[in-house]
Each structure stands twice: as structure tokens, then as C-alpha cells.
Structure 1
Amino acid sequence: MQQKENQRVKLTKRLLKESLLSLMENEQIEDISVCELCSTAGINRSTFYKHYGKPYDVLADMEQDMINDLSIIWKEKVSGQWTFSKGIELVSTYLKEHERFTKLLLRDTKTDLEFAGKLTGSDHVKKMYDRLLADVKDPESRRLIMTFSTTGSYQMIRQWLLDDSTKSPKEMGELAGQMVSIVIKDQRNRHSIL
């Protein structure tokens, strides 16, 4: 009975997520009501409220699904051989594969900024920077380089997706890696001169 219940919950959540995507193609999330979402999903409101409080909660669940997927991908594909370029390539590949949802997130400034914070604040990103910036000792410089690299890479990927750029995910990774390498090299050179 428990397994059947879990399958029913998964189905309900999947229907709500797919319906929210469909509605977001024509409306902003703040304009989507619970009634409209439930009607589109073919479920009643009491079922909705068993799992979520508002449509934003469904969106947050979808974003968290992406973060979880990326964590698994990065652990499986990168493990101990992490490079910034490879990380950006993997993120670009995943976001391109989920382009419909990603573009809906990225077109709206509010949801875009919230998603960017979740994506760039994840544990795997922090671990990557620990390795990448191991010899940058000044905490303020580390924090500023992380902010520049993360925000710049995120905005670059955002523009790439929204513009339907012809660059491949691998090219995106290489480009981001080149830019970050320049910043880190410059920081190292400044400290070695002092």
C-alpha cells in the first residue's frame, strides 16, 4: 500500500510540475492561481494542498530537482578530476537538455535571481572553489573571485540559452574556464610581486 501511495504522490507532483510549466509559457508565476494550476493538472485543490502551499512551492520543488540532478551528475562525472571548464560544460549540457524549463526560469528576473542563488550556493560549487582557489590565501580576494566567476559564468550561460547560441556546452566550459584562469592568474601574479 505504501508503494502505491508513493507512486500516487509522484504522479500528482509530476502533473503539477508539467502543468505549471505549461501555464508559465503564457503567464508569470505570480499570476498563476492554485485553482488554475489544479484545473490544468486535473487534480482537486485539497490534493494540491497536501503537497504544496502555493504555485511558487511547485516551482521551488522543480528548481531543487535540478540542483539535486546536477549534484549527482557532478559527483558521477567529475569526482576528483574537477576543472572549472568541465563543471560549466556539465551545467550547460544539463540546462540545455532542460531548456524549456530553464528558459522560463531565466526570463523572469525574480525567479532567475533566486534560482541563480540556489545553483551557485550549492555544496559542489563550494568544493570546486576550494580546489580552484587553494593557493589564494586572502579570504576577501577568494570571496570576490568566487563572486565574479560564479556570477559571470551564470550570466554567460543564461545569455547563451536565451539567445539560442550555436556554441556547444563544451565551448561554453572552455570559454568560462579561460576567463576564470585569467582572473586567478592575475591574482597570483599580484601577490607574488608584493
Structure 2
Amino acid sequence: MAQKLDRRKRYTRMALKNGLMELLKEKPISSITIKEICEQADINRSTFYSHYADQYDLLTNIEDEIIDELNQALLQYDYTQEKEALAMLNYLLKYVYSRHEHFRILFSEHGNKRFTHKVMFAAQTHIMNDFNGPEHKMSETAAKYMTIYSISGSITVIEYWLENGMKESPDEMARIITEISKPC
């Protein structure tokens, strides 16, 4: 019986998340009502409120789920090794590609800028160690700014890639981002 309830809860949450993502294609989160989400998901309001406080809570849950998955992936790589850094970027781009519709929506003007900041913070936390190695003659402050600069540029390139139909493969995009991220 407990497994059946868990399956129903998972289904309900998935339906609500998908409903919100569909609505975000058309308008910003601030213009979306609980009623619209429930209609889109074919779920009643009381069921919605048994899972989420409001539409922002639901959006935060979607964002946090993606960030958790990214963090788990980022923990597996050593950024001081160039091959691993490329493999990590390749994995991340394949992940973005597999969930491209969600990323396209969350990075769009209808999403929440907070998501971009969450992605930047997650990446910065993992990459900072690369700039703190002995081969870099860079202060910690400069390393932070260099990391933010590199990550924000990469995110902008990924947003452009998503918006323009992902004509390049994730492997090709990983090579492009690696190439343009190298210091001159």
C-alpha cells in the first residue's frame, strides 16, 4: 500500500511539474496561477497544496532537483585534469541536451533568474579548486572572478545553443566552450 501511495505522489508531482513547465513556455511565473497549474496537470487545488505551498515553491523544487543532479555529476570529476574537465563539460552538455526543454524554459525570460545563479554557484563551488592549484599564480579573489567570468560566459553560450536549436552536438559544444575558455 505504501508503495502505491509513493507512486501516486510521484505521479502527482510529475504532473504538476510538467504542468508548470508547459505554462512557463507561454508566460512568466509571476503570471501563472495555481488554478492554471492544476487545470494543466488535471489535479485539484487541495492536492496541489498537499505537495507545494505555491507556484514559486513548485518552481524552486524543479530547479533544486536539476541542481542536485548537476552537483552529483560535478563531484565525480577532477578539474585539474584537462581530460576530466572536458569529460565533465561533455557530460553536463549531454545532460542539458537530454532536458533541453526544461533548460530552455528555465533560462528564458519566463523562468527565474535565480536558476541561472544557482547553476553558476554550483559550478563555481566545484571549479574553484582548479584555480587554487600551485600552477596558477592567482589570488583567491582573482580566481573567484575568473571562475564567475568563465561560468557566466559558458552559460550564455549554452543558452544561445539551446535557443538556436542545438545544431551542434554536446561533444562539439564541449570542445567549443573549452577552446574559447582557454586564456589567450
- Return the TM-score normalized by structure 1: 0.81
Task: Give the Å deviation of 1:160.
Answer: 1.0
Tell me the equivalent position of 1:187.
none
Cα distance in structure 1, aligned partners of 2:128 and 2:182: 12
Task: Give the Å deviation of 1:138.
Answer: 0.8
Task: Give the Å deviation of 1:23.
Answer: 1.8
Cα distance in structure 1, aligned partners of 2:148 and 2:127: 13
Tell me the equivalent position of 1:16.
16
In structure 2, stretches of 5+ residues that fail to align are none
Tell me the equivalent position of 1:126.
125
**Larger deviation: 164-173 or 46-55?**
164-173
- Number of residue pairs matched by the alignment: 180
Tell me the equivalent position of 2:176.
175
Q: Rg bigger for which structure?
A: 1
CA contact (8 A) 1:88 1:153 kept: no
Aligned ranges for residues 50-89 of structure 1 at < 5 Å? 50-75=50-75, 78=77, 83-89=84-90
Cα distance in structure 2, aligned partners of 1:5 and 1:37: 22
Supply the RMSD in Å over aligned alpha carbons: 2.3
CA contact (8 A) 2:29 2:111 kept: no
Aligned ranges for residues 153-172 of structure 1 at < 5 Å? 153-172=154-173
- Which structure features the higher share of helix residues? 1
Cα distance in structure 2, aligned partners of 1:110 and 1:104: 6
Q: Deviations over 1:36-61 (max 9, x none)?
A: 11122122111111111211221211
Q: Structure with the greater relative contact order (CA < 8 A, sep ≥ 6): 1 or 2?
A: 1
Cα distance in structure 2, aligned partners of 1:129 and 1:110: 27
Partner of 1:182, secondary structure, is: coil
CA contact (8 A) 1:85 1:176 kept: no
